[in-house]
Structures are given as structure tokens and as C-alpha cells.
């Protein structure tokens, strides 16, 4: 069953390639949604896929940016199916 995650990352997550690496990881996992930088130095992520895929996706982000992410706020939601791909929003 597909799920949606809405995540806010806090730490040194801007200016380190976070959005571009996340977009690449999303493609490898077949995740749809988007990622963007926020004015308050956080990064916001919305993604949809099977729950197990999202868990692996999140683990990969954590592993890749383990020295940069200080905190993450994750909200699990029902999938809306509105996304066809994953992209960077500006």
C-alpha cells in the first residue's frame, strides 16, 4: 500500500547538495514527490511510494547525510497519487 511522508530536515542541510542527492536517491527507489529549501534553513520533503520503499529511502538519506542532519520531523500520511515523478521545487 502506498504511503506519503512529509518531512522537515534541520541541520546543515542547505548548500551541501541535499536536494540533488535526494532527487537522485528518489529516482533509484522509484519515489515520487518533491524536495525544496525553506527560508528558515530547513529542507522540506514530500514523497510517495510503498511504505517499505519509503523506509529504505529515508534510511539512505540519513546514511548519506548523517553528519549534516540534526533533526527530522516526519509525518506519515495516506498517498494521494498526485505525483508522477520526483523533482526539486524552488
Mean pLDDT of the chain: 98
* pLDDT of the residue at 46: 98
* pLDDT of the residue at 16: 97
Identify whether 62 is a catalytic site residue.
no
The answer to whether 68 and 6 are in contact (CB under 8 A) is no
Per the residue annotation, which of 12, 19, 66, 70 is the catalytic one?
19
Q: Can you list the domains of the chain with their CATH numbers?
A: 2-80 (3.30.70.100)
Per the residue annotation, which of 4, 37, 62, 84 is the catalytic one?
37
pTM of model > 0.85: yes
If you average pLDDT over residues 69-80, what whole number do you get? 98
pLDDT band at 19, cuts 50/70/90?
Answer: very high
16 Cβ contact partners less than 8 Å away, ≥ 6 residues apart: 65, 68
Amino acid at each position: 500500500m502506498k504511503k506519503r511522508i512529509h518531512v522537515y530536515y534541520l541541520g546543515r542541510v542547505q548548500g551541501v547538495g541535499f536536494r540533488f542527492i535526494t532527487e537522485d536517491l528518489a529516482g533509484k527507489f522509484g519515489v515520487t514527490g518533491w524536495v525544496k529549501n525553506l527560508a528558515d534553513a530547513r529542507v522540506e520533503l514530500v514523497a510517495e511510494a510503498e511504505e517499505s520503499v519509503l523506509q529504505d529511502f529515508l534510511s539512505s538519506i540519513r546514511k548519506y547525510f548523517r553528519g549534516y542532519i540534526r533533526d527530522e520531523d516526519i509525518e506519515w500520511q495516506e498517498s494521494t497519487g498526485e505525483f508522477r515523478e520526483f523533482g526539486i521545487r524552488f
